[in-house]
Amino acid sequence: MKKLNSVLVCCALVLALSTSGLAQSKTTLVDPKQAEKKSALGDSLLPPSFAGWQKAAGGRSSKSADVADPANAQILREYGFTDSETATYNRGDRKLTVIAERFGDTTGAYGAFTFYRQPEMAREKLCDQGASDGTHVTFHCTNVLVDVNLDKVTAMSASELRELAASIPKVAGNLAEAPKIALYLPANIRENSKYLAGPIALDKLDSPIKSSQVNFSLSPEVLVGKVRAQDGIATVALIQYPTPKIAQAQLKSLEDWGKSFKPSTTEGSLNEFSSKRSGPIIALVMGEIADSDAKTLLSNINYDAEITWSEPTYNGARDNIGSLIYNDVVLALIIVAFMFVVGIAFGGFRVFMKKFFPGKLVDRPEDVEFIKLNIRE
C-alpha cells in the first residue's frame, strides 16, 4: 500500500510540473508586438496633473468614435480609432479642456492630426507634430492625438503644454513609425497636406479627386495638399499603391479621368491636369496652374526605394580561407598541448604510486599475472 501511495504522489508531482511548464510555454508564445500594443492601449491617456494643473472630476472616457467626435466618427474609424478621454484641468481660477484620442498606430494619429489641422494654424514643436491657432492647440505623440483649448495664452503656455506632451503614453517599434509618403512632397506643400486612410475622409475634402478615382480597395496611401500658383490654387495629390505594377495600371485610369481637366483653349490652363508615376507613387497636379509650373512641380517628386541587402558577400572573417587555416593550426596546437599535459599527469601519477605505494594501485600481482600455455612438445 505504501508503495502504491508513493507512485501516486510521484505521478501527481510530474503532472503538476508538466502543467506549470505548459503554462509558462503559453505565456512565452505571446506575440511581443501584440503585447506591446495591448500594454499601450491599457494606459491612461491623460495625467492627473501637470505644471500645476489638476484634473477635475467628471472626465469622460470612451471607446466609441461617436462620443469622441460625432461629426467625424466614420473618419476616425478609418484612421484606426480605439478610445478617447476628455478632461478639464483647473489651476486657481483658470481652466483648460483636453481631448485625447488614441489610434492603433502612429499612422492613424498622424492622419487624424493632418485632417484636423487648418491652414491658418502655426507650427508648434510639441511631440511629433503640433499646430496652434490662438487658444486652440493640437498635436500628436506617436499614436495619441491631443486637442487642447486654453482659456488664454500666457508666456508659460508652451512649456506647460510640453510637460503635458511628455506625460502622454507612447508606443515604440513598428507602431511608432509614421508614413513616409509626405517626405516626397515639397516642404511648402507638406505643411498643410492631408493624409487620408479611407474614402470618407477623401470625399469630405474640398479636392477635385475623389475616392472613386483612387480605388481604396487596393489599399493605397493618399496625401492631398494645396499649392498657390500664379493663376490661382492647385491641388497636389500623391497616391502610393502597394506595388509599382498596381500603380502603373491605376495611372492609365487616372489619366483617362483627368482628360476632363484639359483646357478648351490653347492659351489658358485654369483646368490643368498633369500626372506622373515614380515607382509605386502616382503624383497628380490639378487646378489653376500653368502646365510648365505643374511639370516643374512633378519633376521634384521622385520615389526612393529602400533596399535591404541580405545576401552574404563572403568577405567576412568567417569566410576567409586564411582565417580558417590559422584557426585549424591553433586548434591542433591546443589539442597537442592538452594531450601532452594529460600524458605527463598520467605517467607521473603511476610513478608516484609505484614509489610510495608499491603494489597497491598499479602493478599489482593479480594485474600482471597471465596465462601461459606450454605448447612445446
Boundaries of every domain in the chain: 39-176, 181-299
Per-residue pLDDT, 1: 42
Per-residue pLDDT, 319: 66
Q: How far apart are CA 52 and CA 94, in angstroms?
A: 11
pLDDT in tens, 9-61: 444 444 444 444 434 443 334 344 444 444 444 468 999 999 999 999 989 99
Beta strands, E only, 166-292: 194-196, 221-228, 233-240, 272-278, 281-287
Per-residue pLDDT, 12: 46
- 252 and 282 Cβ atoms separated by less than 8 Å: no
- 124 and 131 Cβ atoms separated by less than 8 Å: yes
Q: How far apart are CA 289 and CA 271, in angstroms?
A: 8
- 133 and 118 Cβ atoms separated by less than 8 Å: yes
Q: How far apart are CA 179 and CA 174, in angstroms?
A: 11
Q: Looking at the domain 39-176, which fold is it?
A: Protein Transport Mog1p; Chain A (3.40.1000)
Per-residue pLDDT, 21: 44
**84 strand-pairing partners:** 62, 101
Per-residue pLDDT, 263: 52
What is the overall mean pLDDT for the chain? 83
H-assigned helices in the chain: 2-28, 32-42, 65-68, 73-78, 106-116, 157-166, 187-190, 199-204, 211-214, 244-258, 291-299, 321-356, 365-368
C-alpha cell at 271: 483646368
Q: How far apart are CA 76 and CA 271, in angstroms?
A: 32
Extract the residue ranges of the chain whose pLDDT is less than 50: 1-42, 264-269
Q: How far apart are CA 8 and CA 2, in angstroms?
A: 10
Per-residue pLDDT, 366: 60
- 239 and 249 Cβ atoms separated by less than 8 Å: no
Q: How far apart are CA 195 and CA 179, in angstroms?
A: 9
Per-residue pLDDT, 82: 97
The residue among 37, 45, 73, 65 whose CA lies nearest residue 146 is 45
pTM value surpassing 0.75:
no
C-alpha cell at 255: 489619366
pLDDT in tens, 247-261: 999 999 999 998 876
Torsion of CA 319, 322, 323, 329, to 10 degrees: 140
pLDDT in tens, 263-286: 544 444 457 899 999 999 999 999
